[in-house]
Amino acid sequence: MEDKKNSSIPELLQKRNFLGRWAAFFINRHRVTYLLIIIIFFWGITQYSGLQREAQPKVTIPFAIVQTTYVGASPEEVEALVTDPIEKKLEELTDVRRMTSESIFGQSTIFVEFDSGSDIQEKIRETREKILDISDTLPAEVETPKVMDMKTGESPVLVFTLGGNQDILEIQGSAKKIKDLIESVEGVTEVALIGDIKREINVIVDPQKLSVYAISLQDIKNALIQSNVNLPGGDIKLNEIHYNVRTIGRFEKVEELNHVIIRDEGNGKVYLKDIAVIEDGYEDIKKFVRKSVESGENPSIENVIAISVHKKESADDITVRNNILEKLQDHQEDLYPDDMKLEIVSDKADYVERQLGSVTDNAKSGLLLVIVVLFLFIGFKEALIVAFVIPLSIFAAFGLMKVWGLTLNEITMFSLVLAVGMLVDNAIVVMENIDRLRSKGLSSKLAAEAGTNQVAPAIMASTLTTLAAFFPLALTPGISGDYIRPMPLTVIFALSASFFMAVTISPSICAGMIKNHRSQERKLENPQKQKYMKMISVVFVFILSMIAFKDWGQEGIKQYGILSIIMAVLFAFVMFLKQFKFKGSHEDSAVLHYYQKCLGWIVTSTKRKWLLIVLIFLLFISSVALIPLGILKVEMFGDEDMPGFYVEVNTPQGSNLEDTLEIIKQVETYLFTINEIKHFVSYVGDEGTDMWSLYRVENPDVPNKGRIIVELQEEMDRERSSVEIANQIRNQAKKIPGAEIKVVELAMGAPTGSPIHLRVKGENLEDLEKTAKSFAEILKAMEGTRDVVTSIGEGVPELQVRVDKVRASMLGLDNMSIALSMRNVIHGIEATTFRENQEEIDVMIRTSKDRLRTVHDIEKIFFYTSRGEAIPFLQVAEVVETESIMNIAHEDSKRRIAVLGEIDDERVTAVEIINRFKEEIKDYAIPEGVVLEFGGEMEEMEESFENMMNNMILAAILVYIILAIQFNSLTQPLIILFAVPMALIGVMPGLVITGNKFGFVAFVAVVALVGIAVNDAIVLVDYINYLRSNGDNLKDAILETGKTRFLPVLATTITTAGGILPITLKEAFYAPLGIALICGLCMSTLLTLVIVPTMYSILEEHKLKRLNKKEKELHNSI
């Protein structure tokens, strides 16, 4: 009897497909299902525990940095003798996109940027080989060039400061102990001290005595080298014993240097003590570090030593940090006294923990919202079965992430949050179809088998289209591509797992746990129970939602307000749909009734169908036009409240450390007045380091530079954002004269250049400088720009020693010997080393500083000929005071001056400024040979947007191919793809209304929507085809599809939106992506419910008319 009853259900007559047979296997073998669940959970947990945790994905920036030190050389000398020959050699490298360089006093730095996709490690190796080839041809005084690469993960995992009331040398001794201890921790690669003073033994010579004895600095150096050696003497056999013979001559005490014989001639011996004084001391202070100290109402500042800790690339940030702190705690008594204080001023692992914790909380919130939505749409027990897919899929994704080599970072965690709402889409469709069949009287087992078999091909197609949209994102080249790549991979892993769960585990559990459907009449017998169930449901929804959006900060009340509105609207909407219905019966829903009526009204009129399409087209054009009209602003990455910022101080060229310190003290005094600042560390003569430092290049002495690294209080403990505080300091800094003070805000996302970056290239330095300064003035006059500077900087005071070549030659001198003598007198000469307690201490030969205070003192220097004759300076040279340029930059071996600047993000965007600048210089006469190029954020944004557009086109092509195979049609995929422009109708206005800008992360959402937005359309078209194959006419099939698939389509959309809603509300960086996805998906869903049936009707009616016409022609021909 039951077989006869069931035989009238067409789903049972449908042929079993591969996925249906797959589902039936698990439905009939519950133990296999439970075993699989246990395996997935166990595998996911074990792989999760082994995932490396870090703040952001490692981005290997395709750069090789070649740094060469040439002490004392001017920018022109560095350019000619170092930069030019190295650049010429590096031009032999392949896959070079751009090569830039900077020649400054005493240093050459060359940046080689390789093409995207290059094997950077191989390119670094090739670069080192080229440098090795050229090294021998560089001047002897040039240090061996260093070749480095750049990675975003190479910032220090920890930065400590060690300070107290002790002398800085005592603090330094403790800092070295700490350094040695930390270096022994597994995973640590380097520990650097900043602000320490290097011990040095100085031989201070008396120039007058040197001239009397005709002894040069080189003579002293040679004597010290010869006196400070241990040499092997071979081996000898004496009395049947073999001895190794060694001559021990190295200095054991500093005092021994006094007795070194410099000259031994007929006039007697000349000892070092006769012409010099030996000082056991320290090198000149070139940089130091200061830290703010909170002491009640009287905050102060103290000199400290910074300790920067770097880890292995593969090491876990949090594990390394914890191991270091544990070891420091165990050995504290042996490292530093109680009145000395070791503090953490930069903790990358803490940031990682907080960021991952925040994203995890948002994921939990999204998960709870999804469960709430599922409960409202399909019932409590069914909701739990469907929601069970989420943790299973996430654990499976963890396992695949580990296998693929991904790490647990902010991007991968966000990807899982993004996927939370989508993970249940397939299971919802399966569960709703099973539920519908059970309402027709089928048992749970038969309904599970037939229901899964029916919808499995469609949900496979929808899953593949979603994967097809994310797949091109994984192919995005460049720095932005490396940064975003973990996101599509993680989503692909999670969605693939969710599809597997939806067609295997979910129907199997459903068949085993859900009882056969009760009749509608029996439920109607107890209306009072229905009333209580509604009340309980309201309370249940409210409690779950409060948990989902819990926030212990000051934003809590605001979040509850937002939550109340969202949940009230959602609940009212679902109640209006008569969600508390009898399963499988939608007829009583007023919304559904009017939707069917509206749909029938449209599809029965050709005029109304075309009018709807025209209206949709106009809405699409209007939405996209928001960008060119300037209503929707465009930028690469948006602002986010960050934990701190930098204050960079540049005093005029020629300033010393004391000058720079005085300016920094003024800034420090003002920083103490801002309560939102937790602490700050000032680096004088150094750029400092912290967790945000992309890379650290060793710079020569920069006494005119300083940086204050400011850390703010926790976000919940302050009323203002980091941007607002930075603006306050920026305004105050303008009032401090005598320095250029720049506040640099930190930023999320992949590394980008300055918002304003012009490259002025050519060969004539005078034309370049004039043009660059003109462009800088134009930019400074624009509203919304700030900190506009040229890279050439100010003129640097210079003393030129001009040699009389003829006279010098007559006296036995040449330019080289005079230049080396000047270098030795001014900078000193490293003679040898003194070893004490396993430490190598440099022995330097110097002239007393008191002897070189004025230009006139330089003119008292003596030069020495090869015959040992002392020649007074003024006999062969003169000193001329002048200015020289600060640096010389190249790009692709041509000279270049950059114009750099920042913008006020709240008022303008980089795109607006550059466009206005182009208008301003239309009539500007650029000198011949000078070329202007735009770089920085603008260049990177154009490149990234071009890549994203290519990704979107590729995604659309892949989606079309998948749909064409699935539906065996070339026209029906076009109907489905029409959902994509409908999504854009929601994206652009949504960003404008919420005050967001269209940037890289929003573009990621647009590409993702190519695959996500079509899912609802796939379900509709697939079911229309199914009904028509069972004999329904076109109109009836369309209307029945609208009725049957209305709630599942809404449910999948709301769960996807609900899953990403918490992180959209709480994380400013991801807000544009979340808003774009939510608004695009919601708009696409609402329009899809109308426009897809309409498009289907138009195309099929056209096809029928064409077939009828052919049949008529054929009939007439007969």
The pLDDT of residue 266 is 63
pLDDT band, residue 590 (cuts 50/70/90) = low
The pLDDT of residue 520 is 45
Do the beta carbons of residue 638 and residue 1064 sit within 8 Å? no
The pLDDT of residue 496 is 92
pLDDT band, residue 490 (cuts 50/70/90) = very high
Higher pLDDT, 693 or 929: 929
The stretch 183-205 carries a mean pLDDT of 89
Do the beta carbons of residue 1065 and residue 562 sit within 8 Å? yes
Residue 57 has pLDDT above 50, yes or no: yes
Do the beta carbons of residue 226 and residue 209 sit within 8 Å? no
Strands, E assignment, 818-917: 829-836, 839-847, 862-864, 870-872, 877-884, 887-891, 894-903
The stretch 255-276 carries a mean pLDDT of 85
Do the beta carbons of residue 164 and residue 73 sit within 8 Å? no
pLDDT tens digit string along 524-583? 445 555 555 555 555 655 555 555 455 444 444 444 444 445 545 555 565 555 443 434
The pLDDT of residue 43 is 92
Calculate Rg over the CA atoms of the chain: 37
Do the beta carbons of residue 389 and residue 427 sit within 8 Å? yes
pLDDT tens digit string along 331-363? 888 888 888 899 998 888 888 888 787 777 777
Residue 896 has pLDDT above 90, yes or no: no
Do the beta carbons of residue 307 and residue 159 sit within 8 Å? yes
CA distance 992 to 1045: 32
The pLDDT of residue 552 is 41
Lowest mean pLDDT among 19-33, 70-84, 202-216, 937-951: 937-951
The pLDDT of residue 539 is 61
CA distance 374 to 380: 8
Complete DSSP assignment for 407-475: -B-HHHHHHHHHHHHHHTHHHHHHHHHHHHHHHTT--HHHHHHHHHHHHHHHHHHHHHHHHHHHHHHHT
Q: Report the chain's mean pLDDT, rounded to a whole number.
A: 81
The pLDDT of residue 321 is 92
The pLDDT of residue 538 is 57
Q: Which two tokens stand for residue 820?
A: 């080396």
Do the beta carbons of residue 165 and residue 339 sit within 8 Å? yes
The pLDDT of residue 586 is 43
Q: Which two tokens stand for residue 237?
A: 């056999």
pLDDT band, residue 86 (cuts 50/70/90) = very high
Q: Which two tokens stand for residue 677?
A: 């600042």
Please say whether the dihedral angle defined by the alpha carbons of residues 574, 575, 577 and 578, taken in this order, is positive or negative: positive
Domains in the chain, please, with CATH? 1-50+379-516 (1.20.1640.10), 56-151 (3.30.70.1430), 199-282+797-884 (3.30.2090.10), 587-640+935-1118 (1.20.1640.10)
The burial of 561, by beta-carbon neighbours within 10 Å (0-12 exposed, 13-18 middle, 19 or more buried), is given as exposed
The pLDDT of residue 577 is 56
Per the listing, tokens 């105050």 go with 732
First CA to last CA distance, the chain: 51
The pLDDT of residue 1048 is 78
Higher pLDDT, 184 or 483: 184
The stretch 601-624 carries a mean pLDDT of 89
Do the beta carbons of residue 246 and residue 233 sit within 8 Å? yes
Residue 521 has pLDDT above 50, yes or no: no
The pLDDT of residue 1 is 43
pLDDT band, residue 754 (cuts 50/70/90) = confident
CA distance 882 to 797: 6
CA distance 263 to 905: 70
The stretch 695-712 carries a mean pLDDT of 74
pLDDT band, residue 162 (cuts 50/70/90) = very high
Please say whether the dihedral angle defined by the alpha carbons of residues 918, 920, 925 and 929, taken in this order, is positive or negative: negative
The stretch 488-495 carries a mean pLDDT of 91
Count, residues in the chain: 1118
The stretch 223-237 carries a mean pLDDT of 84
pLDDT band, residue 13 (cuts 50/70/90) = low
pLDDT band, residue 105 (cuts 50/70/90) = confident
CA distance 1095 to 1088: 10
Do the beta carbons of residue 832 and residue 225 sit within 8 Å? yes
Most trustworthy range by pLDDT among 181-185, 253-257, 1037-1041: 181-185
The burial of 54, by beta-carbon neighbours within 10 Å (0-12 exposed, 13-18 middle, 19 or more buried), is given as buried
The pLDDT of residue 305 is 92
Angle at CA 955, nearest 5°, toward 949 and 957? 105
pTM, two decimals, is: 0.76
CA distance 556 to 1065: 12
Residue 603 has pLDDT above 70, yes or no: yes
pLDDT band, residue 131 (cuts 50/70/90) = very high
The pLDDT of residue 525 is 47
- Collapsing DSSP states into helix, strand and coil, what is residue 270? strand
Instruction: Return the DSSP state at 80.
Output: I
The stretch 809-828 carries a mean pLDDT of 85
* Helices 1014-1029 and 1071-1117, axial angle in degrees (round to 10): 30
CA distance 385 to 6: 26
The stretch 1018-1025 carries a mean pLDDT of 86
The pLDDT of residue 553 is 44
Q: Would you tell me how many other CB atoms lie within 10 Å of the CB of residue 904?
A: 16
pLDDT band, residue 750 (cuts 50/70/90) = low
The stretch 686-703 carries a mean pLDDT of 64
pLDDT tens digit string along 1039-1050? 888 888 787 788
Question: Whose CA is closest to 1037, among 1052, 1026, 1024?
Answer: 1024
The pLDDT of residue 749 is 57
Residue 5 has pLDDT above 80, yes or no: no
The burial of 719, by beta-carbon neighbours within 10 Å (0-12 exposed, 13-18 middle, 19 or more buried), is given as exposed
How far is CA 1007 from each of CA 101, 262, 539, 588, 991, rounded to the nearest angstrom? Answer: 37, 77, 38, 38, 16
Residue 10 has pLDDT above 70, yes or no: no
The stretch 1069-1095 carries a mean pLDDT of 86
Please say whether the dihedral angle defined by the alpha carbons of residues 535, 537, 538 and 544, taken in this order, is positive or negative: positive
Lowest mean pLDDT among 18-27, 42-51, 136-145, 147-156: 147-156
The pLDDT of residue 368 is 75
pLDDT tens digit string along 705-749? 889 999 888 877 888 888 889 889 988 888 888 888 888 887 665
The burial of 368, by beta-carbon neighbours within 10 Å (0-12 exposed, 13-18 middle, 19 or more buried), is given as buried
Residue type, 1022: D
How far is CA 448 from each of CA 230, 433, 457, 497, 796, rounded to the nearest angstrom? Answer: 88, 8, 15, 19, 82
Q: Would you tell me how many other CB atoms lie within 10 Å of the CB of residue 165?
A: 10
